[in-house]
Amino acid sequence: MTRDMTTMDHVKAITISYLKAHLSEELRKVRGGARLLISDRSTPIAEVLPYRPEPAALKIRAPRVVPFKAPKSTLRIEHDPVDYLLEDRGAR
């Protein structure tokens, strides 16, 4: 290893001058899955990561249309409730 590069936890740290001199070689390594940490005078300034496409977006589908079926009433009513409502509203 030279003064320009070190390896820490699968991240290769290199200086700007080293990157400029070995750009094609380092980009081939990134394409293969390596990560680069680029520093300027021992100060990290950038990280180069392999490109990973975003996961496919969720597909939006049309909602299922389920026909409404009213439940059958087992309640027996002698008078229509609407008649009671109309009578109540007429009394106001």
**Cα separation values, 25 from 7, 9, 36, 44, Å:** 16, 20, 12, 20
Find out whether 47 and 36 touch, Cβ atoms under 8 Å. Answer: yes
Quick: pLDDT tens for 1-12: 444 445 445 789
| Whole-number Å distance between alpha carbons of 57 and 59 | 6
Q: What band does 91 get if pLDDT is binned at 50, 70 and 90?
A: confident
CA 67 to chain centre: 34
Q: How many residues does the chain have?
A: 92
- With bands split at pLDDT 50, 70 and 90, how would you rate the model's confidence at 92? low
Do residues 35 and 50 make contact, with C-beta atoms less than 8 angstroms apart?
yes
pTM of the model: 0.50
Higher pLDDT, 85 or 75: 85
CATH number of 5-48: 3.40.1620
pLDDT tens track for 8-54: 457 899 999 999 999 999 999 999 999 999 999 999 999 999 998 88
